[in-house]
Structure 1
Amino acid sequence: MFTEAIEAILANQCTPGAIRAIENGGTTAALWGALADNGFLELMASEAAGGAGLDLEAIFPIFVAFGRHAVPVPAAQSIAARALLRDAAAPKGMVTLAAHVRREADGSLSAAHVAFGGIADHALADVDGALVLLDCAKAERTATGVRGSQAASLHWAPGSVPAPIGDNGHALAVFSAALHAAAIAGAMERMFAMTLGYCNDRVQFGKAIGKFQAVQHQLSVMAEHVACAGVAAELAFKGGEKVPALLAAATAKARTSASVSLVASTAHALHGAIGVTEEFDLQLYSRRLHEWRMADGSEAYWNRIVGEAVLGHAAPSVLQFVMEEIL
């Protein structure tokens, strides 16, 4: 029910034209207002706090939909923030997640390449294991310099750092990685659908290019990676839980990130010259895929976490480890 309602809003408010306008500095009011005013930011808040109390399994299709529509506001992060804040009240406005914050010698805080750091009103941050809610208006923002990216590096002076509001800061990086895994899966779905449609419509030498065996082979490999990414992302969203488990989220982020390069490059290659143009919508998704691949650490970072867990586990096989610790 919630997924269908949000899909309808995104189809109306999150068009390619709207995405481009926001990327170019336009207002987020219409899109953000449609999500916030309908209560969708409270989906993971408890029923006692006026939310829907959804668990990870129920929220997963919505996070995938955000990726499929290339949503240019921190909607997923703001929803996750409600779960991480527990009983604390969420602030008004756009909330992003800053999972990797460094405390400087003078007491100031620095966070590099924060998703939506360029437009967010607040950042829920992990500061030495504590959960801290930071005001982005008080931060010095440095854009990444990447075309269309809304990520930014943030720096807060010592006087603008409030007291912690929770002790579950370490859960923030895990949740953020799971969000990006779901977003990658959704964006890959959209890119594959666009590519398949183009190959069925584009005619060369008297027939659709999708009929050529070489093109079919590339589409088949692409489809395998898209399907694998969807299954992997779902691992992090286990029913009944409010926050993803470390190893499940690590596996999800590692597997989805590893598929980004192949899926994006294949999509652009099969689209030919039109695929590299700014006017064509494909780049709205491929740019985000590459950014989300690196967000919270690439597959190399998360593979190391999973690998160390496997080596330190007493299971007689990797399959047994997966069954006991991830599934």
Structure 2
Amino acid sequence: MFVEAIDAILQDQFTPEAVRAIEFGGNAAPAWQALAAAGFLELLAPEAAGGAALELPDLFPILTTIGRHAVPVPLAQSIVARALLARAGATVPTGMVTLAQSCRLDSDGSLVCAYTPFGTIADYVVAGSADGLLLLDCASAQREASGVRGSQCAMLRWPAGHPVTPLPGVDAADVQTWGAALHAALIAGAAARVGEMTLQYCQDRSQFGRTIGKYQAVQHQLAVMTEHIAAVTVAAEIAFATTGTQPLRLAAAVAKSRSSEAVQLIAATAHALHGAIGVTEEFDLQLLTRRLHEWRTTHGSEACWAAVIGDASLADQIAIVDFARGVAGNTC
């Protein structure tokens, strides 16, 4: 029910033209207000607080749907951030809330959240620290965009002395784990849509008297891409195969590592099979593949999370097949 409802509103609010407009400075407020009015920001909140009280397995297809639509506002991040703030006992603010990848104090005393997803438009940032959860008002921050065309990531800097009160109950590891899990789900959704677009193009485009999808070389590339998309989907789903509102760290590590690893092959194959049209700004494929490349490194690349998996495997000192079964069964 929720998936169909959110898919309908995303199709209505975030057409490719609307996505392009918001990416390049257009007003995102009307679309955001439509999402908030529909109650989609409170999917993880308890029913007593006016939420849907969804379990993680029910949230997964919603996140993949968000990924499919290349949503240019922090919808997925706000859903998670609001759940983290509620767990910490904080008052949840109105407006767009995103998750910081990191938070540090610079030598001049300023507080910095580097390469923050949706940092150009977010109203608030939720960041993890050693002392607890931080809720930071972006109105007080200096924003420095990443400089990548169409990207909404930015470095956020608060001046020295900016008041910050850590909220206990949630730590930096919780935020990073959630960031990895939700971006694995977003990658799975976007990758599936890229696969569908590529297959359709290969069925429509003709060369030398027949559609290019009839050529064995093209079929081989489609098959390999499809295998990776399926693997990404299964890996991402593992991160949400548990109860409560916090993914398990090792399952999230597997999900993010596998999904990030597949990004380059999926995006490259899609662009290769689309030919010259695939690299143009006017064609919608780039709305998804740009995000795939951005999400690949957001909240940790495959190399980052592979180290977590390797350390856990060595610590368990069991056969790798039993280790994998344990992760898939959420017993680690």
Q: TM-score, normalised by structure 2?
A: 0.96
Deviation per residue, 1:163-221 (Å, 9 max, x gap): 11223122000001111100100010111100000000001111000000000000000
The letter of the residue matching 2:168 is: G
1:16 match: 16
Q: Is the CA contact (8 Å cut-off) linking 2:131 and 2:166 kept in structure 1?
A: no
2:125 match: 123
Deviation per residue, 1:97-117 (Å, 9 max, x gap): 013111234442111111001
1:92 match: 94
Q: Distance in 2 between matches of 1:185 and 1:280?
A: 21
Alignment of 1:138 with 2:156, yes or no, is no
Mapping 1:47-126, distance limit 5 Å: 47-85=47-85, 86=87, 87-126=89-128
Equivalent residue in structure 1 for 2:266, among 249, 263, 266: 263
Deviation of residue 326 (structure 1)? 4.3
Q: Is the CA contact (8 Å cut-off) linking 1:181 and 1:257 kept in structure 2?
A: yes
Deviation of residue 78 (structure 1)? 0.4
Deviation per residue, 1:36-72 (Å, 9 max, x gap): 0111100101122211111111111110011000000
Deviation per residue, 1:221-266 (Å, 9 max, x gap): 0000011100010010024221111000000000000000000000
Q: Distance in 1 between matches of 2:244 and 2:320?
A: 24
Mapping 1:1-327, distance limit 5 Å: 1-85=1-85, 86=87, 87-169=89-171, 170-315=173-318, 317-327=319-329
Deviation of residue 159 (structure 1)? 2.7
Q: Which runs of 5+ in 1 are unaligned?
A: none
The letter of the residue matching 1:236 is: A
Q: Is the CA contact (8 Å cut-off) linking 2:67 and 2:186 kept in structure 1?
A: yes
Deviation of residue 129 (structure 1)? 4.5
Q: Distance in 1 between matches of 2:36 and 2:158?
A: 27
Q: Distance in 2 between matches of 1:304 and 1:267?
A: 29
Deviation per residue, 1:129-154 (Å, 9 max, x gap): 51010001111111100000000011
Structure 1 stretch displaced more, 246-255 or 231-240: 231-240
Q: How many residues align structurally?
A: 326
Q: Distance in 2 between matches of 1:160 and 1:48?
A: 34
Q: What's the secondary structure of 1:159's corresponding residue?
A: coil
Q: What's the secondary structure of 1:112's corresponding residue?
A: strand
Structure 1 stretch displaced more, 7-16 or 97-106: 97-106
Q: Distance in 2 between matches of 1:48 and 1:88?
A: 16
Q: Is the CA contact (8 Å cut-off) linking 1:68 and 1:186 kept in structure 2?
A: yes
The letter of the residue matching 1:5 is: A
Identity of aligned residues (%): 57
Deviation of residue 81 (structure 1)? 1.0
Q: What's the secondary structure of 1:123's corresponding residue?
A: strand
Q: Which runs of 5+ in 2 are unaligned?
A: none
